[in-house]
Structure formats: structure tokens, C-alpha cells
Amino acid sequence: MPFDVKENERNDDMEQAKVYFSDLRAPIGTNLLKKLEKLIRTAGMGDIDMEKKLVAIKIHFGEPGNLSFLRPNYAKVVADVVKSMGGVPFLTDCNTLYVGRRKNALEHMDAAYENGFSPFSTGCQIIIGDGLKGTDDVEVPVEGAEYIQTAKIGRAVMDADVFISLTHFKGHEATGFGGAIKNIGMGCGSRRGKMEQHNSGKPEVRQKKCVGCRQCAKQCGQDAISYGEDRKAFIDQNKCVGCGRCLGACNFDAIVNRNSSANDDLNRKMAEYAKGVVDGRPQFHISLVMDVSPFCDCHAENDVPIIPDVGMFASFDAVALDQACADACLRQPVMPGSRLDQYLHTEGCEDHHDHFCNNFPETNWRSCLEHAEKIGLGTRSYELIEVK
């Protein structure tokens, strides 16, 4: 299904944000890296005063084993543009809440190097935003927030003069998709910040469906999952922080979240955290919609993409950017043999006519963008401008 730029424009009453788009075609004489540079310069990144400014480029380095994360080549393009403008860029992310290879700064940097990110491949340094153990943060008041009092953001992220997000747009088991707002809000939260965002809902085990494979326990960073004599899993609600990793790990639909509002609360908190990160300083956002895996890059594996590759997007408005990327994805056909295709061919499945909701039916990505717009993070109304 072709992607029609003009048809994708929204005509809401409010003033539209500008979102710039470039497809992934690279005829002889050009390449995707050159196209990305042209896209971000045309979108206005060069209008930001970066002279002698510290510039944080927020990226996800990918959990080792996962191969759908953004290649470091893309990060180098952004860093090189920053340096050409007199800025001092660094790549950053904060430590994870769950168990894995990025739960402290040393392992996190090892994982980044293993996946190809280094000062030699990207042309800039790597700084883990919330310190060695994920405890080095700053409490940031968020104007208009309804769910949090202060956002707990990695100190190095807040110390930067300019903030740029470089996002791999993909599916997510709790938020529907992982776009710019998730990359900023959840990604820049310290360990206690991530816990604050996740703790509104906690999953439970449907005992009849549990086969005792123990995959959920391997993903739990809180040691909250144990097993009875019948080999069935049990989640200790006092230890559980509601991160949702076990939901994505279970192949038998044995783990569910009984609180229907929990994912919506997570989305809204995430929007508030993102506002805390970007308010009061220059910001710019880039999203690459390619290798749209059904799961987040936090997983140590990636699945077949649920839709074909779409393109590259850039904007000063993170909300408009996420909306434009989501709209573009919803226009794409389902990839045969993908997790999404499998769901749609399951007997008795409910078609929500939304790729991300069909991918994880208990998610509602719109709640994030609606709340983000409400609190003044940005607008869902946009004009899409193609860059050839």
C-alpha cells in the first residue's frame, strides 16, 4: 500500500506542526545517511544555536541479541551535523529497571560497544544519563502534570544545553508503540523515575494457561515471580513494579494485566516525563520507521517486522512526530508471517483496525498523545512535508 503524504495531513482547528518525511529509497548516487542529513537540515535542526553547547542525543543502544535497533551510522549523521554547527554532542540513555545487559552504566556501555556504538563509530562520546547505578537524577517540576509531582530524570540528560531524540519507531507490549515520547519520557527516567511510571498496574498469572516454562521469571528484574509445586508461576504483588516485561515474555497468554487503566496511566506519566525533559531548552526529534518489530528494542531478541519499512521523520514537535509516524504505519499492509499477521488469523480474534492495538490488544497508544497534547507537550495536528 503506497504512502500518500498529502492524504496524511490533518485538518484540525489548532495550528499544525511541521513534520518532515523522507522515504527509504536510495537511488545510485545517494544513500540513506545522506538522505537523513538532508532531512534533518531541511526540517530546521540547523536553526538551533549549538555553538559551544552540550548536546544530548537520546538513543536506544539496543539490548544485545536484538538486531532491530538503529545502527550507529545514523547516530553519527546526527552527531556530525551537531559538530558542524559548533555543538558538542554525546549519545545518552538511562539504565533499565529490568534485568538485562543495561542495568548499570558499565554493563550498559559494554552493551553499546558490542552493538557498534563507540566514539570511533559515532564521532562522539557515550554518557549513561543516570550514573553508575541509575540513581544519579534530578527532580524536575512538570507544568500541567496530573499524575506526577516531579519527574526523576538522569542528571546528564538535564545538564545538556540542547536535547535531540533519535528514535527507532517500533511496537511495544505496554504502550502500543515505542516512539519519540517513549524514547524521551521513559528512556530519560532514572531507575526511580521508571518505577514511578510503571507502578500503576501489575500483571497476574492465569494459572490454567501457565505451562511452567519460566521465561517470565528470566525477564523479571525484581525477583517477583516464583513457582509452586504444580510448576505454575505466581507474581508477588509486593515485589512487582509493573514493568510489563513478563507480559511480553509469555508465549501462552498466561500473564495478563487486570487493571484496564494501567497502560493508559503509564502512557500519561510517560508524556509528563517527556515534558519534563524538553521544557525550557531547544529540542529536535527524529524517528526512523524501519524494522518495526512487535516488541521494544529492550528485548534481547527481535521478531519479524509487523509492517514494511516506512521512512524517516523529523520535527521540533515530539507529539506531532509520533502521530505522523503512527498514521503512516496504520496505512501499511501487514507483513505476512509476522506476529500481527498470526493474531489476525487466530480464530475468534477481534480486529481493532489498528496495527498496534492488534499487536497488543490491551494497549492504547492514543492515550499518550492525547494527554501529551493536553499538558502542552505538543500537538497531534501536523502538516507532512516530503523531502526528496
Residue-by-residue pLDDT tens, the chain, 388 positions: 445 554 444 545 569 999 999 999 999 999 999 999 999 999 999 999 999 999 999 999 999 999 999 999 999 999 999 999 999 999 999 999 877 899 999 999 999 999 999 999 999 999 999 999 999 999 999 999 999 999 999 999 999 999 999 999 999 999 999 999 999 999 999 989 998 998 877 889 999 999 999 999 998 988 999 999 999 999 999 999 888 778 778 888 899 876 656 899 999 999 999 999 999 999 999 999 999 999 999 999 999 999 999 999 999 999 999 999 999 999 999 999 999 999 999 999 999 999 999 999 999 999 999 999 999 999 999 999 999 9
Residue 93's nearest CA partner among 225, 190, 231 is 190
Does the domain formed by 202-258 have CATH 3.40.50.720?
A: no
Residue 4's nearest CA partner among 311, 328, 306, 314 is 328
pLDDT of 6: 47
pTM of whole model > 0.95? no
Contact criterion met (CB below 8 Å) for 7 and 369: no
pLDDT of 245: 79
pLDDT of 327: 98
Give the whole-angstrom CA distance, residue 293 versus residue 65.
Answer: 14
The residues near 84 (Cβ < 8 Å, ≥ 6 apart) are: none
Domain boundaries, the chain: 6-200+261-386, 202-258
DSSP-based three-state secondary structure for 278: helix
The residues near 29 (Cβ < 8 Å, ≥ 6 apart) are: none
CB-facing half-sphere around the CA of 156: CA atoms within 13 A: 23
pLDDT of 5: 52
What is the CB neighbour count within 10 angstroms for residue 41? 17
pLDDT of 1: 42
pLDDT of 30: 94
Which residues on adjacent β-strands are paired with residue 21?
A: 313, 386
pLDDT of 280: 97
Q: Among all chains, which residue has been given the C-alpha cell 518505577? A: 195
DSSP-based three-state secondary structure for 94: coil
DSSP state of 346: S
Burial bucket for residue 18 (CB in 10 Å: 0-12, 13-18, 19+): middle
pLDDT of 3: 54
Residue 241's nearest CA partner among 260, 219, 211 is 219
Contact criterion met (CB below 8 Å) for 57 and 180: no
Give the whole-angstrom CA distance, residue 240 versus residue 198.
Answer: 10
CB-facing half-sphere around the CA of 317: CA atoms within 13 A: 24
